[in-house]
């Protein structure tokens, strides 16, 4: 496997960063997860826009332009000879002195991995998967803006642990007010009485790229989309629930806290969104070659 590291494509065994890198020491950095299909990177421009915005938000000055990052991403995929897969793009604060001061890190580091991924079992895309409510809350905007895709992901990791211990594949995370924010790695949508609902980003959700795609597809499919605060009650009483994410794509949820959602199977609207999303990934994207 070839890894893009600070301007060079190197073998996986040579892709190393310093133990003094603040991304490792303090989780100081940002990242993006992207998908590519049929040798085209899906929504590449939007992902790199969000990466740059995350970096700006934490005062991480990138020495690479938007165009250079896009080009490096495509070069990495091409170097690994893959047609379909997943990209992890990481920018760290870089090597520095011990201590929190980021100004002691003169140069950030960036690496790009292109590989395959199977986030959830294939049968869950047909049957739906179980969700569990997590006690761990999403960070409040006063602590760290939810729109920043930070390397400090321990909050999400611990929520994921809770979900797994509860016998679920994914966990629903609430904000401090008790409203649903998102899942540990995915955005959440529900359908009730022919209307599509999803939490607003102001409730603590990441403005996911796949989330944006679903909101774009909704009017094309003939369903009203509403961003509003939702509760666990809304999920319990929904006709359908599905999750979205770059790695997860579109996947139905069959239960929350062992309470069946709808009839416990993938609903018709979820199927329509899944197919429309897959068609979009088959026909659009930034060409790798």
What is the chain's mean pLDDT, rounded? 96
For 192-220, the pLDDT digits (tens) are 999 999 999 999 999 999 999 999 999 99
Catalytic annotation, pick one of 2, 124, 149, 160: 149
> What confidence score (pLDDT) does residue 249 get?
97
Pick the CATH number of 2-115 from 3.30.470.10, 3.40.50.720, 3.90.1580.10, 1.20.1560.10: 3.30.470.10
Domain ranges, ordered by start, for the chain: 2-115, 124-283
Q: Considering only CA atoms, which of 126, 129, 124, 52 is closest in space to residue 91? A: 52
What value does the mean pLDDT take over residues 162-185?
97
For 118-136, the pLDDT digits (tens) are 889 999 999 999 999 999 9
> What confidence score (pLDDT) does residue 145 get?
85
For 69-80, the pLDDT digits (tens) are 999 999 999 999
Distance of alpha carbon 22 from alpha carbon 107, whole angstroms: 11
For the chain, give the percent of residues with pLDDT over 90.
96
> What confidence score (pLDDT) does residue 50 get?
97
Q: Is 272 a catalytic residue?
A: no
Per-position DSSP letters for 189-240, written without gaps between them: EEEETTEEEE--GGGT----HHHHHHHHHHHHHT-EEEE----HHHHHT-SE
> What confidence score (pLDDT) does residue 141 get?
81
Q: Which CATH superfamily is domain 124-283 in?
A: D-amino Acid Aminotransferase, subunit A, domain 2 (3.20.10.10)
């Amino acid at each position: 496997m070839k890894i893009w590291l600070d301007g060079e494509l190197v073998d996986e065994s040579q892709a190393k960063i310093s133990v003094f890198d603040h991304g490792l020491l303090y989780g100081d950095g940002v990242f993006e997860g992207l998908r590519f299909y049929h040798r085209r990177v899906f929504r590449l421009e939007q992902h790199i826009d969000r990466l740059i915005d995350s970096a700006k938000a934490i005062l991480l000055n990138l020495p690479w332009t938007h165009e250079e990052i896009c080009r490096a991403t495509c070069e990495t995929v091409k170097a690994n000879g893959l047609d379909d897969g997943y990209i992890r793009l990481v920018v760290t604060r870089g090597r520095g002195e011990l201590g929190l001061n980021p100004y002691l890190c003169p140069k950030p580091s960036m690496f790009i991995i292109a590989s395959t991924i199977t986030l959830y079992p294939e049968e869950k895309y047909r049957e739906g998967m179980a969700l569990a409510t997590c006690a761990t809350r999403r960070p409040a905007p006063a602590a760290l803006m939810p729109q920043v895709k930070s390397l400090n992901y321990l909050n999400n990791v611990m929520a994921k642990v809770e979900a797994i211990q509860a016998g679920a594949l994914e966990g629903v995370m609430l904000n401090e007010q008790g409203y649903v924010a998102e899942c540990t790695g995915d955005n959440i949508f529900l359908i009730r009485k022919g209307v599509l609902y999803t939490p607003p980003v102001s409730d603590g959700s990441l403005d996911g790229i796949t989330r944006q795609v679903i909101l774009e597809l909704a009017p094309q499919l003939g369903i009203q989309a509403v961003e509003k605060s939702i509760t666990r009650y809304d999920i319990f009483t929904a006709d359908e629930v599905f999750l979205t994410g770059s790695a997860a794509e579109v996947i139905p949820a069959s239960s929350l806290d062992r309470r069946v959602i709808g009839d416990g199977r993938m609903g018709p609207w979820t199927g329509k969104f899944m197919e429309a999303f897959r068609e979009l990934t088959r026909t659009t994207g930034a060409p790798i070659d």
